[in-house]
Amino acid sequence: MSTNVNHAMTTPTKSVSSVAPAANDETSKKTMANSLAVRTLPTPRQLKKAIPLNETLSVQVDQHRQQISDLLSGATAESNKFLIITGPCSLHDEEAALDYGRRLKLLNDQLSDKLLIVMRTYIEKPRTTTGWKGLAYDPERNGNGNIELGLTRSRSVLLKLVEMGLPLAVEALNPMTMQYIDDLISWTAIGARTAESQIHREMISHLAMPVGIKNGTDGSVDTAVNAMISASRSHHCLGTDIDGNIVMLDTPGNPDTHVVLRGGRNLTNYDADSIHRTLAQLEKAVDENTLHPKVIVDCSHDNAQKKHERQVDIAIEVIEQRVGLGKNAPNQGIAGIMLESFIEPGKQGMSGPNQDGNLCYGLSITDPCLGWEQTEKLLKALHARMA
């Protein structure tokens, strides 16, 4: 990974200019904070201290970040591997997430000569309108919030997965949430709903890891390419430090980004033409910026039209483009794929498949996922297709 991104998100900031005086009672009545219930949370430092990542595991996370970075830059033998980001749409049940992690680790031990496998461990969910927002925000799934418990349980389950030796992937939705878990994560996504947001681009520019940026929900790839350019540069921006102080950040810029093609507005973009068009756009941007002209294909979302079984055919089609099987010439610009996969296939509502409040174990409560059996078969088929 390039040296200028080797700052943890928690790197002490350069300057905190001054501390604002407390508002007097009259003005405070008009502030946003006073119109809402305010509950103090532990700071990122406090949570990281309570659920610590030891030095050995921290080195492991660095190595995983570096492997993904090398795969994107084509720097080493690692770059010939195919990146697979796979796991549930969202983590809602820690036991099932650990069960999935154990299965994935065993499979990884068989396939890691050709595949670089990263587990999807999303604890924040962006919603089109409303819905469950993820383990970090509503761990008890009763709509009461309890973010302190959510952050604690999230950090705890992520740490257990890191202890299994797995590299982890999340979507970074709220920059403050990321401060509580960033040291555990090896790859981050910026979602289709936030790739155009300046705040997210600023956040990427000081995330010390590779970041995949989704095309917009309308299918726009420009959004992702513009985000890559913006995030590769240094920004002066508002943020919080590890102790929860509001600070000005001077970010280093992050060149370790790439596009994630997820389809949009019911149209798919995993076909060879769409991928070539995106890569050509990236190649053009590379002339003026330090960027990776690489894509990964999200086999779910609009590409699968929310039909989880379609992910299998899409993944096979994409790896055949990568290695040059069938009518395709080999395309090294395709760095990998993303799958939504869990233990059981499909999805269930928040009250379980029978609406009686009993959730089915290992079944997604957000987007539909491939089941474990299909996933295992698919990853072996992808491995077999890699030269």
Ligand X SMILES: O=C[C@H](O)[C@H](O)COP(=O)(O)O
- Residues of this chain that interact with ligand X (CB under 6 A) are 89, 125-128, 131, 301, 366-367
Pick between residue 66 and residue 366 the one whose CB is nearest to ligand X.
Answer: 366
Shortest CB 125 distance to ligand PEP, Å? 7
Shortest CB 143 distance to ligand X, Å? 15
With CB under 5 to 8 Å by kind, the binding choice for 131 among ligand X, ligand PEP, none is ligand X
CB 293 within 8 A of CB 321: no
214 binds ligand PEP (CB under 6 A): yes
Pick between residue 239 and residue 368 the one whose CB is nearest to ligand PEP.
Answer: 368
Q: Distance between CA 47 and CA 216 in Å, rounded? A: 33
Pick between residue 247 and residue 338 the one whose CB is nearest to ligand PEP.
Answer: 338
Q: Distance between CA 13 and CA 6 in Å, rounded? A: 14
191 binds ligand PEP (CB under 6 A): yes
Pick between residue 215 and residue 254 the one whose CB is nearest to ligand PEP.
Answer: 215
Task: Report the DSSP pairing between strands 334-340 and 211-214.
Answer: unpaired
Pick between residue 52 and residue 131 the one whose CB is nearest to ligand X.
Answer: 131
The 3 state secondary structure assigned to 342-384 is: CCCCEECCCCCCCCCCCCCCCCECCCCEECHHHHHHHHHHHHH
CB 16 within 8 A of CB 24: no
Pick between residue 47 and residue 169 the one whose CB is nearest to ligand PEP.
Answer: 169
Shortest CB 342 distance to ligand PEP, Å? 13
Torsion of CA 14, 189, 260, 303, to 10 degrees: -160
100 binds ligand PEP (CB under 6 A): no
Report CA Rg, the chain: 20
With CB under 5 to 8 Å by kind, the binding choice for 74 among ligand X, ligand PEP, none is none
Q: Distance between CA 215 and CA 213 in Å, rounded? A: 7
| 373: nearest Cα among 344, 346, 332 | 344
Name the residue with tokens 């002066």: 236
169 binds ligand PEP (CB under 6 A): no
Site residues (vs ligand PEP, CB under 6 A): 89, 122, 126, 171, 191-193, 214, 262, 298, 301
